[in-house]
A and B are shown apart, each in its own frame.
Chain A
Amino acid sequence: MSFTSEQIDGLMSLIGITRESELNCNECLHHVAEFAECELTGKHIPEALEAVRHHLTLCLECKEEYDELMKVLRSMGPAA
């Protein structure tokens, strides 16, 4: 099996931000609502939630779901 140069580039970027401990996708989902509301209201992101931000930089699928969640929350307005 071979990897293309472009894939190696992508992998190198991912390796650069890899941490010893990371949230998995379910753990991200568990915390993402709180993270999204903090982001939406401009509240300080607690240190425990920074792991969500990190997961979202690594996981395109969770990022896609998060982006759409933010879109929905923005459409609902402050009463959401």
Chain B
Amino acid sequence: MSPVTLDWPTRLSPTCIERDAALVELRVLLIKGLHTGLSGRAGADEGFIEDVAQMSLVRILDHLHTFEGRSTFITWALAIALRVAFIELRRKRWNNVSLDELKERNPDLNDATDPSPDPQQQASRASLIQLMHRLIQSELTPLQRDVLLAELNGMPQDEIATQLGRTRNTIYKLGHDARRALKQAFENAGYSVADMLSVFTETSPQSHP
């Protein structure tokens, strides 16, 4: 069998005689992809990309058994490499910011200005904001509130997880549970999400993802 006909997982398996060559080849492809994906990013210099490629190779080999062939192997590997890269970039950017600092930084809700020129819309909006604030206090656990505040301030989930001693998946679940609890509480209070969104969409100063 010609070496080029072997698939990546086979070539990367510990018993394959092509393994070393495959690792070199994959590393080159990852570095090329990382150069494209991280171009213009602060901190993503040559040394950083080399380090990320090495860390990515380790992670790819550790997870080789999870590759199901639903995409090309290279796309799968690049997705992992970019995950590794962004975790590192975000860590660099946020490692000096603590959750406690975010709590102190947040101004009081009452200081917020209302962009709507319509007094009725302003009243609806103010009423919903107050309700939301009450529900955040009454329906969420302190941990859920901390996670929400951190997320809404743009702190990466990996950084929140590190500071709270949890995993990124746990942080996502905490945020998801918090959103579900608030959605249910609004519905219990007689508000439909569509109604709330219409008030906020019409008056919001900027859109959010």
Do A and B make up one complex? yes
* Cβ contact within 8 Å between B209 and A13: yes
A contact residues around B78 at 8 Å (CB): 33, 69, 72-73
Known: A3-B133, A3-B136, A16-B197. A30 touches B66 (CB 8 A): yes
* Cβ contact within 8 Å between B152 and A33: no
Cβ < 8 Å to B, chain A residues 47-80 = 57-61, 63-65, 68-69, 71-73, 75-76, 80
Known: A3-B109, A16-B196, A80-B75. A9 touches B183 (CB 8 A): no
Q: Which of A5, A37, A58, A61 has its CB near the most chain B CB atoms (within 10 A)?
A: A5
Interface of B: prevailing SS:
helix
Query: CA of A36 to CA of B106 in the docked complex: distance in angstroms?
Result: 37
Count of chain A residues near B, Cβ 8 A: 46
B contact residues around A59 at 8 Å (CB): 157, 172
* Cβ contact within 8 Å between B75 and A13: no
The residue of chain B having its C-beta at the shortest distance from the C-beta of A11 within the complex is: B152
A contact residues around B157 at 8 Å (CB): 25, 59, 61
* Cβ contact within 8 Å between B209 and A34: no
Cβ < 8 Å to B, chain A residues 1-51 = 1-16, 18, 20, 22, 24-26, 29-34, 36-37
* Cβ contact within 8 Å between A11 and B172: no
A31 to chain B, nearest CB (A): 8
Binds A, one of B4-12, B19-27, B199-207: B199-207
B contact residues around A63 at 8 Å (CB): 209
The residue of chain B having its C-beta at the shortest distance from the C-beta of A32 within the complex is: B79
* Cβ contact within 8 Å between A75 and B196: no
Known: A29-B79, A72-B36. A9 touches B208 (CB 8 A): yes
Find A33's partner among B76, B129, B132, B148 (CB 8 Å cutoff). Answer: B76
* Cβ contact within 8 Å between B71 and A12: no
Closest 6 pairs between A and B when the two form their complex, measured CB to CB: A5-B112, A33-B71, A10-B208, A68-B37, A18-B179, A7-B152
Query: Could you jot down 23 A-B contacts, CB within 8 Å?
Result: A1-B145, A1-B149, A2-B107, A3-B148, A3-B149, A4-B106, A4-B109, A6-B205, A8-B133, A11-B179, A12-B132, A13-B207, A14-B209, A15-B196, A18-B183, A25-B157, A29-B83, A34-B70, A69-B37, A69-B82, A73-B78, A80-B72, A80-B75
